[in-house]
Chains A and B, each alone.
Chain A
Amino acid sequence: MVKCLESEGVSVIFGYPGAAICPFYDRLLDSDIKHILVRQEQNAVHAASGYARSSGKPGVCVATSGPGATNMITGIATAYTDSIPIIAITGQVRSDLLGRDVFQEADITGACEPFVKHSYLVKNTADLPRIFKEAFHIASTGRPGPVLIDIPIDMQTNEIESFEYPSKANIIGYKPNIKGHSVQIKKAAELIRSSSRPVIVAGGGVLSSGVKLKLVDFAVTTGIPVVSTMMGIGVMPSEHRLYLGMLGSHGKGVANRVIHESDLIIVCGARLGDRAVAAPDQISERSKIIHIDIDPAEIGKNIKTTVPIVGDMRDIMSRLADAVGEYHVSPMWDDTIERWKKDLFRLPKEFDGFVEPRSFVAKFSHMLPSKAILVADVGQNQIWCANNFRIKEGRFLTTGGMGTMGYSIPAAIGAKFARPEREVVVICGDGSFQMGMNELGTIAQNNLNIKIIVMRNTRLGMVRELQKNLYRGRYSATFLDENSPDFMKIAQAYHIPSVMASSNEEAEKIAAEMLKHDGSFMLVCNVSPDTPSI
């Protein structure tokens, strides 16, 4: 197993040991692969996710059988909905005892079936090299996703005659390298040329396929404006004239307006989930839709499509750009959008004695180096970041598909291991912080330099906002204690310096000091519970 990982060029893995995975951990001691001990297995998967997204290579995480494996499930499900390439390795009880409910036996391949791209239960040690080769191939090609390898302890200790790592995976039912169909590309180009109010919707697929720059080029030459889904934030610099922000129920007014008034929507690497587009039928009635995706099952699933193009977006994007040739959106469309941008812009309302998180995030983005990686958690804090973080050449990492609270801190750890030279910043809520704060241990133990900003509104703000709007202000179970925890003391317990801020002026001053500090740092912003998401 260790040799397989070495053959794949793996240098860091995230995990948590236990009896059923001990043979692997024993051999790991003799390898150059660095193992990062997390504080809970779910976070090993999130860390692998942050690593994968920042490095472009699959992230690897490891856990023991039974509770170790079941703890991973939420992480695996999160990676699945966010289409992140992950190899999850679990120890399992002895193969001859499978099915007898022995100590720490859990049917993890069964339990994870809905959330993995594929899974293996190893029944023969000699199969390990083939299985690892296939797993890495499946996780990282086509639409990326997590692959689980469950390995009974005897499969880890059995001797095999000789070790040979296959150079290629050969799976007859898996041929992910589809080339976009020329006829479809031609049809799409015709649609674009005959449209007067087109818009591009860019999703996570644009980032994972590495087609970002090509897409920006295409937008610039044609003048087609770009909106993004939450997973697509970062496809264009936020302040680019053609970038209109995130669409959807928590998105920007102008982005939604443009979608509704357009006559052609070019969807790139996005599935248009219910958070992005609430009434897809209405939209497809009004405008034509081109949908480009590597996963044929996404086409027609959520929205009716005029011209689908299935395949690798890198190839499709250049061919589409060539086929479109000289074309520019009508100046009217350009002017209208510029007007909407101004009309729909609102300055956030401030609350005395608190940090205004939306203007702070915007201000803070400009203090960061241009390639910084911002990891947002889930809740209002995520929306504040998604709409106000001014991304340049860096990354915005968050979980859009599953929205798993507690993602940000472990994902930032993974990102830092992938990109040690970059500034990595977490912005989370006080609820989500408390779901991931055990990983401060991992940060401290590894002397990582991660900046953490906690938006402390003493509420599960996003759910509270929902209760305010839909349940007539009957607040149920959304109040987090105002007296505990003492965030400063928690940071202190891990030797992480921390400061609290109660106004934007204070917060900006501390943020500047924080960024100068060589090492982890925590900034706690007191935020009014009444601050809205948008």
Chain B
Amino acid sequence: MKHTLSVLVENQAGVLSKISGLFSRRGFNIDSLAVGVTADPNISRITIVADGDDYVLEQLEKQLNKLIPVIKVKAFESGSYLSRELSLIKVNCTASRRPELIQIAEMMHAKVIDAAVSTITLEFSDTAEQTEILMNLLRPYGIREIVRTGTVAIEKGNSSVSVQSGS
């Protein structure tokens, strides 16, 4: 099962290697990992999507919490959060195919950010599932290159994962 975790860490050297080392050492599978600074420049947020059963998830949270620079770990419950990943996709595109591809882009709410004689480049920001749908639509044209960020996620409604908040 896929789990999405939001982890707040002290922004210090080596923290990322501590976290990724922990995953490989304990045999946890990471699907994606995205790091970025928070409103407080001393604190970064790492969003991790990982695969495993409940035992794995429990151990993952606990082992992450044991790392000294880790301030907070929250595993999001399914349905309680919104997630996005950003993709840049370069697709083969001759002049005759251009209208079709632009139509797909519009339908999926992807943005055309570059075009050349034989390619077109789309920017897409949505969930991992939507990204898969778009890729399936583009595959017949020939995907030259795809660049995807890891998933970032935020809770719905008023709750937030911050240094002060409980849980």
Contact = CB atoms under 8 A, between A and B. Distances in A.
Contact of A295 (B66, B67, B71): B66
B111 interface: no
Given A121-B13, A173-B9, A173-B10, A138 B62 contact: no
A54 B67 CA distance: 27
A174 B68 contact: yes
Interface string B1-21: 000000001100110011001
A297 B13 contact: no
Interface in B52-74: 55, 58-59, 62-63, 65-72
Residue of B14, B63, B72 with most chain A CB atoms under a 10 A cut-off: B14
Contact of B14 (A117, A121, A301): A121
A118 B13 CA distance: 13
B10 A114 contact: no
A172 B163 contact: yes
Interface residues of B, number: 22
Contact of A173 (B25, B62, B69): B69
A440 B149 CA distance: 58
A173 B19 CA distance: 14
A297 B59 contact: yes
A123 interface: yes
Interface in B34-90: 55, 58-59, 62-63, 65-72
B59 A113 contact: no
Contacts, number: 39
A109 B14 CA distance: 9
A110 interface: yes
A171 interface: yes
A110 B25 CA distance: 13
B54 to A, nearest CB: 10
B66 A171 contact: no
B66 A297 contact: yes
A497 interface: no
Interface in A105-147: 109-110, 113-114, 117-119, 121, 123, 138
Nearest to B67: A173
Contacts of B58: 300
The size class of the interface chain A forms with chain B is: 10 to 19
B21 A113 contact: yes
B96 to A, nearest CB: 52
A111 to B, nearest CB: 11
B37 to A, nearest CB: 16
A505 B68 CA distance: 54
A118 B70 CA distance: 11
B163 to A, nearest CB: 7
A339 B11 CA distance: 60
A296 interface: yes
A114 B17 CA distance: 11
Interface in A246-296: 295-296
A173 B13 contact: no
B70 A173 contact: yes
Contact of B62 (A109, A113, A172, A296): A296
A225 B71 CA distance: 40
A171 B69 CA distance: 8
Contacts of A114: 21, 25
A114 B25 CA distance: 8
Contacts of B67: 173
Contact of B68 (A109, A121, A138, A295): A138
Contacts of B66: 295, 297
Given A295-B66, A297-B63, A297-B66, A172 B17 contact: no
A114 B67 CA distance: 11
6 contacts: A113-B18, A114-B21, A117-B68, A173-B10, A297-B62, A300-B59
Given A113-B17, A121-B13, A173-B70, 5 more contacts: A114-B21, A173-B10, A173-B69, A297-B66, A301-B59
Interface of B: 9-10, 13-14, 17-18, 21, 25, 55, 58-59, 62-63, 65-72, 163
Interface of A: 109-110, 113-114, 117-119, 121, 123, 138, 171-174, 295-297, 300-301
Leading 7 A-B pairs by shortest Cβ distance? A297-B62, A173-B71, A118-B68, A173-B70, A174-B68, A296-B62, A172-B71
